[in-house]
Amino acid sequence: MKIVTAAEMRAIDRATSERFGVPSLTLMENAGTAVAEHAMSHYPQVKKIVVFCGKGNNGGDGFVAARHFHAAGKKVRLILLADPAELKGDAAVMYGKVPVKAVVVRSSEQLKSDRVQASLLADLYVDAILGTGFKPPVQGLYADVIAVLNASDVPVIAVDIPSGADSDRMSAQDPARQGIIARADSVVTFTAPRPAHVFSLLTSGPTCVAGIGSPQEAIVSSLHLNVITARDFAPLIGKRPVDSNKGLYGHVLVIGGSFGKAGAAAMAGMAALRAGAGLSTIATPKSVLTMVAGFHPEVMTEPLPETDAGTIARVALHRVDELAKGKSVLAIGPGISRVPETAAFVRSLVERSHVPVVLDADGLNAFEGRTDELSANGGTLVITPHPGEMARLAGCSVPAVQKDRLGVARKFAREHGVIVVLKGNRTLVVQPDGEAWVNTTGNPGMSTGGTGDILTGMVAAMVAQHPKNVLMAVCAAVHLHGLAGDVMLKAVGEHSMVATDLLRGLPQAFAQARRAAREKFACWRR
């Protein structure tokens, strides 16, 4: 799903009406209806609803929502933060259709009056004060109303965006300015998200995107930035044919493991199976093969020549060349170690591979200071660094990576012709042409050793199953990986989560993604 700027969203609305013939009043009607539907779905028991409306189109959406609340039998109070004579265009039209009399508040003094204060009693607030076209800071009456919202314990639904937020912001809002941004328990926006919907911490609950009538042809963005939703990869996780067999779903070869790190390769191999690969084989130093094989009976193993340190020896190249024949994807790196001879093995293997490669962990560290040797060579190469590994590859510090995650990932992807999966809060998937996808699943409980190995196996599995749609296969793996973490968060909590918990959560993650793809709104959580 494309991410657009506030200016682009206005252009999309104009194009929808002028080029595609959808009246602007219809767009507003659909937007307000979506807000009401979300509210009554998430808060079915509420009886009293207060809708705070500004004088612009955001207020117009609120007028529509108020009308639908009233029609549903809710007790609705409409608080208009302007003189009705100031309303113009579609907002004025929709205000005229509201079947309840508004409480008009035109000053901070009026807001403090007993009459207005009595009107604030409610089970639910709807914030339709300021939309994504607003540029901070908020002042005067609107700031005072936002303070009322923030001081209350009544749930708040934000229409389009929490009032006072900068919709084009690409990072979390400055804490010093939180006082002038309305609190939100959920956000309902329209057509396409703005950057702040994805990158800023605008709500503790869901952010939902509702289609209101704009065709895909009208949704144009210069950001080359997208948010991953279940709808995007739904065809990749659909029901399988009844005559399926394991040969249809790819064979992943995991190359990794070493003395003391056998579990990393084992987790990647099992994750490949849990993510749907038909077969999974782990090639590992012969001295640790028994340990690797003992983790999961479903994975196959192959012994490789090893160094004195119990890592894969360079002479294993010829054996791996043989093993790679007939395989769909190579997953290189989990537990492979940083022994110089093994690092040389990794570099040679990536260079000569004729099948797609997923490179992670010490497989990436093998290219530290030697990134001129790292390229896709006309094939498919997916790298999955965490910020530390990205910093080593890019030759910069971890803070530099974290300060400009998108820029660093894009630069590296373009220069080396690889797909970069930069892990972290809001994991990024970046194509060689710079087009980027942002993931919204996952949680701090996944900050534990081994979760990256699980992701490696999952990415390899999805690419193995969908070699003609590699980008979306990678996005699917990243999204499902985080979703499995979110599933297990409810079961074990942040502090107790371990990497293999994700294997337990994957079946439910697949089921949740399939359900989400069928939902009317595309939603994600913080």
- Average pLDDT over the chain reads 96
Q: Report the percentage of the chain scoring pLDDT > 70.
A: 98
CB contact at 8 A, 349 and 386: no
In what side-by-side order are the strands of the sheet with 522-525?
Answer: 103-104, 75-80, 48-53, 124-128, 156-159, 186-190, 206-210, 522-525
Cα dihedral 222→228→232→237 (10° resolution):
160
Mean pLDDT throughout 280-305?
A: 96
Task: Answer yes or no: are the C-beta atoms of 202 and 230 closer than 8 Å.
Answer: no
CA distance 166 to 220: 20
Q: Residue 441: which of 473, 406, 485 has the closest Cα?
A: 485
Q: CA angle at residue 376 from 274 to 305, to 5 degrees?
A: 65
Q: pTM for the complete prediction?
A: 0.95
Name the residue type at position 435: E
| pLDDT tier at 255, thresholds 50, 70, 90 | very high
pLDDT in tens, 341-389: 999 999 999 999 999 999 999 999 999 999 999 998 878 999 999 999 9
Q: What gap in Å lies between CA 286 and CA 240, rounded to an integer?
A: 36
Residue among 399, 394, 438, 429 at smallest CA distance from 415: 394
CB neighbours of 59 closer than 8 A, spacing ≥ 6?
A: 53, 80, 81, 82, 87, 91, 95, 128, 129
Q: How confident is the model at residue 465 (pLDDT cuts 50, 70, 90)?
A: very high
> What pLDDT score was predicted for residue 171?
78
Query: How many CB atoms neighbour CB 400 within 10 A?
Result: 15
d(CA 235, CA 327): 23
What are 441's two structure tokens? 């699943």
Q: Does the pLDDT value for residue 178 go beyond 70?
A: no
- Give the span between the Cα atoms of 162 and 446, in whole angstroms: 29
Number of C-beta neighbours around residue 502 at 10 A: 30
Structural contact between residues 367 and 373, judged by C-beta atoms closer than 8 angstroms:
yes
The pLDDT of residue 175 is 44
Domains of the chain: 6-225 (3.40.50.10260), 244-517 (3.40.1190.20)
pLDDT of residue 378: 79
Mention every residue, 6+ apart, whose C-beta is less than 8 A from residue 442: 425, 427, 481, 482, 483, 485, 486
Give the angle subtended at the CA of 455 by the CAs of 454 and 461, to the nearest 5°: 95
What span, in angstroms and rounded, lies between the C-alpha atoms of 145 and 211?
29
d(CA 80, CA 52): 6
Say if residue 173's pLDDT is above 80.
no
pLDDT in tens, 437-460: 999 999 999 999 999 999 999 999
3-state SS assignment for residue 111? helix
Nearest Cα residue to 275 out of 469, 474, 472, 506? 506
* Per-residue pLDDT, 515: 97
What DSSP character marks residue 369? T
pLDDT band at 172 (very low <50, low <70, confident <90, very high): low
C-alpha span between 324 and 474 (Å, rounded):
21
Angle made by CA atoms 453, 248, 502, in degrees to the nearest 5:
25
d(CA 22, CA 2): 21
Q: Mean pLDDT, to the nearest integer, of 48-58?
A: 97
Q: Using a pLDDT cut of 90, give the percent of the chain over it.
A: 95
In the prediction, which pLDDT does 485 show?
98
- Closest to 44 measured CA to CA, from 3, 74, 19: 74
Reduced to 3 states (helix: H, G, I; strand: E, B; else coil), residue 356 is coil
Secondary structure (H, E, C), 389-432: HHHHHHCCCHHHHHHCHHHHHHHHHHHHCCEEEECCCCCEEECC
Residue 521 pLDDT grade (very low, low, confident, very high; cuts 50, 70, 90): very high
